[in-house]
């Protein structure tokens, strides 16, 4: 199956899942009130995140054909996303400043003068186009890795905290072993073994990033298993698996949501660090910053490449952190008690 078909199918599944999540939230008064309060408090940040999501979706839906004839004949026979089609034939020969009519070095006229909002890079690619393409990579790294790491942490942390004994000893030993290793070196070693593909980097980040939340889930489960309603369910003969599914996991959901949001920004920054070391994901903001670092030493300075990537990265992470703080204040029981 072709890659663009798989990508379109994944986008469809995600949209269906998002719609199901919205329906579930609307049916629950507790979650509906919580998210309404978050919307009131962080409306601007949520709108910014929605903008990034829209750009990422537009860059994920791709198909072959339908493009006008251009100078790149090969591209017309490849799957092109909606973002790609908006910037068809935007390639120039070399650097140009934002909205310039001539090349930055040499002064040769551009093929599309004044149309490059953020200028072009060393090989003439539109910087605004590259910045938009980076949104999909950032959301994929942050979202997919979180969706891998959080279930892994729950899989080990919840049974270890609930059953204790030998199982808890084994899980605690694994967590302590991973925590004692230098995280960056372990991450680089995994990427070297698995490869530099996007999925491989997501998997490597998940393997090295689940330990922190596993500790939190284990500790919270240790507390929950001693509460009265859990003891009452156990006395009534309710099976352990049903107690875990009906009583323990639902009371961890606020931690899951908060961790997902806060983990997201850390993972996006981790990918930027990997790109700085030369092992990041192609098309990411981190790679843009890595490729632009030598341009800052030129005279005159080519600043717009690193500025565009840095601003896009800063806007996403700041918005996610704002929403994460609002989620923590709204959903964390300890914060609610302190406010009361």
217/175 Cα distance (integer angstroms):
12
How do the residues of the chain divide into helix, strand and coil, expressed in percent and rounded to 5? 75, 5, 25
In this prediction the pTM is 0.84
DSSP H or E segment with residue 11? helix 3-27
**Running along the chain, 340 residues long, what does each successive block of 10 average in pLDDT?**
58 71 75 82 89 88 64 59 83 85 81 86 88 88 87 91 88 87 83 82 87 90 87 85 86 85 86 81 84 78 88 91 83 53
Instruction: State the pLDDT at residue 338.
Output: 47
Q: What are the boundaries of each domain within the chain?
A: 128-314
Q: How far is CA 191 from the centre of its chain?
A: 18
87/157 Cα distance (integer angstroms):
47
DSSP H or E segment with residue 63? strand 62-63
| Residues linked to residue 126 through DSSP beta bridges, in sequence order | 120
**Is the domain covering 128-314 a CATH 1.10.287.3510 domain?**
no
Instruction: State the pLDDT at residue 272.
Output: 82
Instruction: State the pLDDT at residue 128.
Output: 92
23/199 Cα distance (integer angstroms):
30
Residue 98 is encoded by which pair of tokens?
């934002």
Instruction: State the pLDDT at residue 73.
Output: 52
Q: SS3 for 138? A: helix
């Amino acid at each position: 199956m072709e890659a663009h078909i798989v990508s379109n199918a994944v986008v469809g599944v995600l949209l269906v899942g998002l719609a199901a999540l919205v329906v579930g939230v609307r049916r629950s008064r507790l979650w509906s009130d919580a998210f309404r309060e978050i919307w009131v408090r962080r409306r601007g940040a949520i709108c910014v995140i929605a903008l990034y999501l829209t750009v990422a979706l537009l860059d994920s839906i791709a198909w072959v054909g339908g493009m006008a004839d251009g100078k790149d004949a090969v591209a017309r026979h490849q799957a092109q996303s909606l973002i790609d089609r908006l910037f068809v034939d935007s390639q120039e020969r070399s650097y140009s400043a934002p909205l310039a009519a001539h090349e930055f070095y040499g002064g040769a006229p551009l093929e599309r003068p004044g149309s490059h909002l953020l200028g072009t890079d060393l090989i003439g690619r539109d910087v605004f186009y590259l910045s938009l393409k980076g949104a999909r990579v950032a959301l994929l790294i942050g979202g997919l890795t979180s969706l891998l790491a959080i279930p892994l942490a729950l899989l080990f942390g919840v049974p270890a905290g609930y059953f204790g004994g030998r199982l808890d000893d084994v899980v605690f030993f694994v967590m302590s072993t991973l925590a004692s290793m230098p995280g960056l070196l372990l991450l680089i070693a995994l990427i070297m073994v698995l490869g530099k593909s996007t999925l491989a980097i997501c998997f490597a980040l998940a393997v090295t990033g689940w330990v922190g939340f596993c500790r939190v889930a284990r500790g919270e489960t240790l507390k929950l298993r001693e509460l009265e309603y859990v003891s009452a369910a156990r006395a009534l003969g309710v099976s352990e698996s049903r107690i875990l599914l009906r009583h323990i996991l639902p009371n961890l959901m606020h931690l899951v949501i908060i961790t997902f949001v806060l983990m997201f920004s850390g993972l996006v920054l981790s990918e930027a660090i990997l790109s700085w070391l030369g092992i990041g994901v192609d098309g990411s903001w981190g790679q843009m910053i890595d490729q632009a670092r030598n341009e800052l030493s030129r005279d005159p300075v080519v600043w717009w490449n690193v500025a565009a990537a840095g601003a896009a990265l800063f806007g996403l992470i700041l918005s996610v952190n704002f929403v994460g703080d609002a989620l923590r204040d709204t959903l964390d029981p300890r914060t609610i008690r302190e406010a009361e």
